[in-house]
Amino acid sequence: MEIKREPLPGDTTITDFRLRQLQARDMLRGELDEQELQRYVEERVLTTTVDRAVAWAQGNSIYPLTFGLACCAIEMMSIVGARMDIARFGFEAFRASPRQADLLILSGRVSIKMAPVVRRIYDQMLEPKWAISMGACCSSTGVFNNYALVPADKFMPVDVHVPGCPPRPEALMHGILRLRDKIQGRRRDGWRARYDAVGTEELLDAETPPDTAAVNVLQNGDTAGA
Amino acid sequence: MPDATALELTAQELLQVDSGSILDTSFHRGRAELVASPSAIRSVLRHLKDRGYSALASLHGVDYYPDEPRLGVIYEMLDMQRVDRISVKVRVATDAAEVPSVVELFPTAEFQEREVYDMFGVRFDGHPDLRRILMPEDYEGFPQRRDFPTGGEPILFTFNEQQTYGKWV
Amino acid sequence: MAPEKPDSGGGQAALTEDYRRREASVTISSEPAGEGETHELMTLNIGPHHPATHGVLRLLTTLEGEIVRDIVPIIGYVHTGIEKTAEDKSYWKVIPVVERMDYLAYYFNAMAFCGAVETLLGIEVPPRAQYLRVIHLELNRIMSHLVWLGTSALDLGAISMFWYCFREREKILDLFEMSSGQRMHTRYIQVGGVFEDIPPGFEEKVRAFCRDMPNRADQYADLLEKNEIVLERLRGTGVVDQETLLGLGVTGPLLRATGHSWDLRKAQPYSSYDHFEFRVPVGTIGDNYDRFRVRHAEFYESVKIIEQALDGLPEGPFITPDRKVALPPRHELATSMEALIHHFKLVTEGFRVPPGECYYPIEGPRGEYGCFVRADGSAKPARVHMRDPSFINLQALRPMVMDNYLADMIATLAMLDPILGGVDR
C-alpha cells in the first residue's frame, strides 16, 4: 500500500497549526502583548461555577455500594464484567462499606425483613448520596405483589428507577448514565420534548385548564384508565 | 416408587407394628403415599428408615382448606440404595396443630420444620429451636395458610400515587 | 458496631441476654490462659450486607479469637412469598414466578414445576422437547457453576477469575437470548415442552461454545489449581463426613465431594437423561478442595451432554400436541375453530389439572430440586412448594465451620454455594 502525502491547499508555508505553535511559544516566553494574551486566554480557558465543576467531578467518579439482593444483582455483576464494562465510565470501584460509597444500587427484591437493614445502610452513607432502584421488584413490587415485599419508595428516596426483570445490563447502564446526567445538572429533555408529543398528558390538578383543542386528554374526575 | 401392592404391604407392616398409625394409603400418578396419625409419626418414620428409606428429601406443609383436618405435613422419604420414594402425610387441625418433631431421626428436618411452623403454624414437639425462619421474628400470622390474604401494594398510577405514599421531593 | 437487630422482638435487654446465653452455652478451648490473658467469646454479626456473603445471609458467629465456636445462620432477608403468589396464578403464569426462586438456576426451577404439573396431567413431553430441555438445563448448569467459580475466587482474593468466568457467562446468555429472547428468567420451559423451537443459527453457536468451553475450563484450572494460596485455603478445610451430610439431607456436589455418587440424572433419570453418556465426578474426603474440583469437573460433563443432545436431536413437535394444555400454533387460529376456542380458554382461564399431589425431583447445580404441586381441580395450583437444595445445604454450614478459623468460614461459605433466593423463596 502506498502512502501519498498531499500538500494542504492554500498557502503551505505557514499552516494554522504552525501559527498556534508559534503563539504558544510566545506566550510561554512572555512575549505576547496585552490584547493577544487576552484573546489567547479566552480561547483556551473554560470558566464555570464551582458547583458545576464539583458536580461534574462527582458525576464522573461515583462509588457504587456492593448491594446485591437477588437476581438483579447478577445482572449488576455483569456490568462489572468485561462486556458491559462499567469501568469505562469510572464506576468500577464498588465499595463494600456504606461509609465509602455514594451510590446505592438496590438490585433485587426488598423483603419486609430487609427493609430496615437497607434503610440503616442508606442512612450510614454520607452526603451526597444517590440511590438507583434497579429492577421491577424494588421500584414497585414487580412480579410479586404480596405480603412479603416492600417497594423502595416507601422507605427511602430513590433517584432513578430502572425497569426490567431483570433489567439488561445495558438498561442499568442507561439508568446509571441518566443519574450521572442528573448529578452533573445536564438537562435531559424527556421524550415528550424530544418528539414534540402533545395531547396525551394526564392532568393532575384542577387549576390547569384543559386544553380544549386537544382530544383524548384525561380530565380530572375521569375514571381510572391511565 | 413402590407400586400399589408394595405400598399396601408396607402399610400392613406398619399397622402390625403399631395399629392405628396408618390411617390411609393412596397411590396416584406413580406416587405412593401413607397417611399417618400425628402421634405415631416418629415410629412410622423410624420403621421406614430401618426398611431403607434413610433420607428425608423434603418436609413441607400444605393447607387443605376447606377440608378438615386442615393442615398437612408431608414427609418425602428417599431410599438411596434402591432408588425408591415414598411419602408420609400427617393431617392436623388448626386448633390442635402439634406434631412430634423428627429432628433426632433426620437432622435435615431442623430448618424445614421451622419453615412449616413459620408458614402454617404447626408446632413440632421436641424441636430444639422452633422460631420463625423466613418472616421477621415478631410477625403475626401464618402467611401460607389459605385464608391469609396475599397482600401487596395497590398499583400506582399518576392519579393515586400522591394518596398512596406521596412523592419524595 | 451496635448490637441491635432491626427486627428485634423483645427489646434490647432481651437481645443481649439472648446473646450472652448463647455464648455461655458454647465451650471454650481448654488451653490455659497465659499471664494476664482471659478467654472470652465474642459474638460477631456477619451480614446481612457483607461483601463475602453470597446474597443476604446473616451469620451470627460466636468467636473465640479467630476460631468459630458457634454459628447461627439467620435467613429470610429475601423472602418473597413466591409460594403464596403462585397460588393466585394459573399454572402457566406460575412458571415465571417460580423461576425467580433460585435465580441462577432458573431453567431448573421451571423444569421441576413443569415436570410436576405434567405428571399430574399425565401428558407426554415430545422427545425433541426433552432434548431441548436437556440442552438448556446443562447450559444453565455450566452458567451457574461459572458464576459460582467467579464469585468464589473473588471471595478468596483471586479477583481476575471473576472477569474470565463472566466472559463465558456472557456467551451462554447470548445463547439463551437466541433461543428465548431473554438473558435471565427466560420461561423457556413450559408445561408440555418448550416455548419455541430453536432458531437456525443456534446449533452452530452452541457447538462453537462447546468447542471452546473445555479449553476455558482448563485455563481456569491452570489459574487456580496450582496456586499455593488457593490450595492452602481449600485443602483440608471444611471437612464433614458423609453420614453427617446424609443425615442433614445434603445433595448435589457437596455430597458428591465426600465420595457418595448420588446424582438424580443417573439414579432417577428424567427428560431422557438416560440417553446420554456422562460421568458423575466424585470427590474423596469432602473438604473445600474436593467441592471445588467436583464442580469444576462438571463443566466437562455438561459439555459432553450438550454435544450428545445436539447430535441426537430428534425431529418433531417442541411442545405437546395436546391442545388443552399447550397453545395452538398461531397459523391454526385463522382456519380452525377449535384452535381458537382452545387458545381463548388457555389464555383466559388456563388449563385445569385434575386433583392430586405430585413431588417431582430433578438434579440441579446445587442438589435436588423437588417441586411439590397440589392440584385441586381448578386452574390454579393449591400449593406449590420447592424443595430448594440451598435451604437444606445451609444446615451443613454449622458442622463445616465449627472449631475452624473465621477465614476458613469464608472459603467454606463460598464452596457451599448458597443462593439466597432459593433459601428464602
Task: List residues bridging with A104 in a β-sheet.
Answer: A65, A131
CA dihedral A53, A57, A58, A62 (to 10 degrees): 170
- For residue C420, the number of C-alpha atoms closer than 13 Å in the C-beta half-sphere is 33
- Cα–Cα distance, A134 to A131 (Å, whole number): 9
Q: Is the peptide bond before A166 cis (omega within 30 degrees of 0)?
A: yes
**Nearest CB to A226; choose among B153, B158, B165:** B158
Q: Which residues make Cβ contacts (< 8 Å) with residue C254, sequence separation at least 6? A: C245, C286, C291, C367, C393, C396, C416
Cβ distance of C80 and A148 shorter than 8 Å: yes
The dihedral over CA atoms of A173, A175, A177, A183, expressed in degrees to the nearest 10, equals -150
Cell of C340: 381458537
Cα dihedral sign for A186, A190, A195, A196? Answer: negative
Give residue A22's pLDDT band: very low, low, confident or very high (50, 70, 90). Answer: confident
Contact A157 B168 (CB under 8 A): yes
Quick check: C167 and A143 CB within 8 A?
A: no
DSSP assignments along B23-56, one per residue: EEEEEETTEEEEEE-GGGHHHHHHHHHHTT--EE
* Among the listed residues C342, C350, C335, the one whose alpha carbon sits nearest the alpha carbon of residue C321: C342
**Res C52: pLDDT:** 65
Chain A residues whose beta carbon lies within 8 Å of the beta carbon of residue C7: 113, 116
d(CA B144, CA C378): 19
Calculate Rg over the CA atoms of chain B. Answer: 20
Residue whose C-alpha cell reads 492554500 in the numeric block: A10
Contact C75, C394 (CB under 8 A): yes
Instruction: List the CATH number of the domain containing B56.
Output: 3.30.460.80
Q: Letter for the amino acid at C101? A: M
**What ipTM does the predicted assembly reach?**
0.90
The whole-angstrom separation of Cα C295 and Cα C118 is: 30
Q: Give the pLDDT score at C3.
A: 42
* CA distance readout (Å), C97 to A22, A143, C26, C100: 70, 7, 42, 6
Name beta bridge partners: C58. C74
The CA angle C106-C196-C140, to the nearest 5 degrees, is: 25
pLDDT means per 10 residues in chain B (169 residues)?
A: 71 74 82 88 89 90 87 91 89 89 91 92 90 88 88 74 57
Which whole-number Å values give the CA distances from C192 to A113, C127, C196, C270, in the listed order? Answer: 37, 11, 12, 14
Residue-level pLDDT at C258: 92
pLDDT tier for residue A222 given thresholds of 50, 70 and 90: very low
Instruction: State how far the Cα of C241 lies from the Cα of C282, in Å rounded to an integer.
Output: 14
Angstrom distances, CA of residue A29 to CA of A15, A20, A21, A34, A40: 21, 14, 12, 14, 14
C-alpha distance from B143 to closest chain C C-alpha (Å): 8
For chain C, the domains span 82-321+350-388
- CA A32/CA A42 separation, integer angstroms: 14
Q: pLDDT value at position C9? A: 43
Which domains does chain A possess?
A: 61-184 (3.40.50.12280)
**What phi, psi does C245 have (nearest 5°)?**
-65, -40
Q: Is C81 exposed, middle or buried (0-12, 13-18, 19+ CB in 10 A)?
A: buried
**Neighbouring C-alpha atoms within 13 Å toward the C-beta of C279:** 6
CB-based contact C185:A71 (threshold 8 Å): yes
A69 to A177, B68, C275, C348: CA distances (angstroms): 22, 39, 39, 34
CATH number for the segment(s) C82-321+350-388: 1.10.645.10
Helix (H) or strand (E) holding C361: strand C356-364
3-state secondary structure at position C175: helix
**A111 vs C76: CB contact, 8 Å cut-off?**
yes
d(CA A184, CA A178): 10
**C-alpha cell of residue B144:** 401460607
Q: What is the pLDDT of residue A201?
A: 67
Domains: count for chain B? 1
CB contact under 8 A, B136 and A148: no
The C-alpha cell that represents A9 in the structure block: 491547499
Q: What is the pLDDT, as a whole number, of residue C119?
A: 92
- Which residues in chain B are closer than 8 Å to A146, comparing Cβ atoms? 150-152
Q: Give the residue on A whose Cα is nearest the Cα of C163.
A: A81
- Residue of A146, A151, A158 lying closest to B150 (CB–CB): A146
Mean pLDDT of the A110-135 span: 91
**Chains near B, with 3+ CB pairs < 8 A?**
A, C
In 3-state terms, what secondary structure has residue B91?
strand
Distance CA B153, CA B161 (A): 11
Tell whether the model's pLDDT for residue A218 goes beyond 50: no
Whether residue A204 and residue B158 make contact (CB cut-off 8 A), yes or no, is: yes
Cβ-based contacts of C49 with chain A (< 8 Å): 67, 117, 121
Mean pLDDT of A209-226: 45
B-contacting residues in A 128-167 (Cβ below 8 Å): 140-141, 145-149, 151, 153-154, 157-158
Average pLDDT over residues A181-205: 73
Is the CB of residue C73 less than 8 Å away from at least one CB of chain A?
Answer: no
Which is it for strands B31-36 and B22-28: parallel, antiparallel or unpaired? antiparallel
Could you tell me the three cell numbers for A207?
A: 387549576
Over 80: is that where the pLDDT of A9 sits? no
Question: Which residues fall within 8 angstroms of residue C34, CB to CB, at 6 or more apart?
Answer: none
Rounded alpha-carbon distances, angstroms, from residue C39 to C17, C65, C129, C228: 19, 8, 62, 33
Distance CA C202, CA C208 (A): 10
Q: Which three cell numbers stand for residue B40?
A: 405415631
Question: What long-range pairs does C256-260 form, CB within 8 A, spacing at least 24?
Answer: C256/C280, C256/C281, C256/C282, C256/C283, C256/C294, C257/C282, C257/C283, C257/C286, C257/C287, C257/C290, C257/C291, C257/C293, C257/C294, C258/C283, C258/C285, C258/C286, C258/C290, C259/C283, C259/C284, C259/C285, C259/C286
Distance, in Å, from the CA atom of C224 to the CA atom of A159, rounded to the nearest integer, reads 41
pLDDT for the residue numbered C2: 40
Compute the average pLDDT of residues A52-59: 85
| CA proximity to C95, closest of C191, C197, C234 | C191
The segments of chain C whose pLDDT lies below 50 read 1-10
pLDDT of residue B162: 67
Whole-angstrom Cα distance, residue C43 to residue C24?
Answer: 11
A76 φ, ψ (degrees, to nearest 5): -70, -35
CB contact under 8 A, A146 and B151: yes
| C342 Cα distance to chain centroid | 35
Q: How far apart are CA B57 and CA C347, in angstroms?
A: 35
Which candidate, C124, C125, C119, C121, places its Cα nearest to that of C358?
A: C119
Residue the block writes with cell 387549576:
A207
- Residue C37 sits at φ, ψ, to 5 deg, of -100, 150
Start-end of H helices in chain A: 16-29, 34-44, 50-60, 71-80, 115-124, 136-139, 169-184, 191-195
Does the beta-carbon distance from C185 to A71 stay under 8 Å? yes
- Which chains have 3 or more CB–CB distances shorter than 8 Å to chain A? B, C
Please report the DSSP string for A86-149 in residue order. GGGGT----BSSGGG--EEEEES--BTTTHHHHHHHHHHSPSS-EEEEESHHHHS-TT--STTB
**Statement: residue A215 has pLDDT above 50:** no
* C-beta neighbour count of B17 within 10 angstroms: 14
Average pLDDT over residues A184-191: 74
pLDDT value at A65 more than 60 = yes
Backbone angles phi, psi at C117, to 5 degrees: -65, -40
Q: Do C6 and A96 touch (CB under 8 A)?
A: no
Q: Does C77 touch chain A (CB under 8 A)?
A: yes
Given a cut of 50, whether residue A226 has pLDDT beyond it is: no
Instruction: Say yes or no to pLDDT of A225 above 60.
Output: no
Given an 8 Å threshold on Cβ–Cβ distance, is C80 in contact with A78?
Answer: no
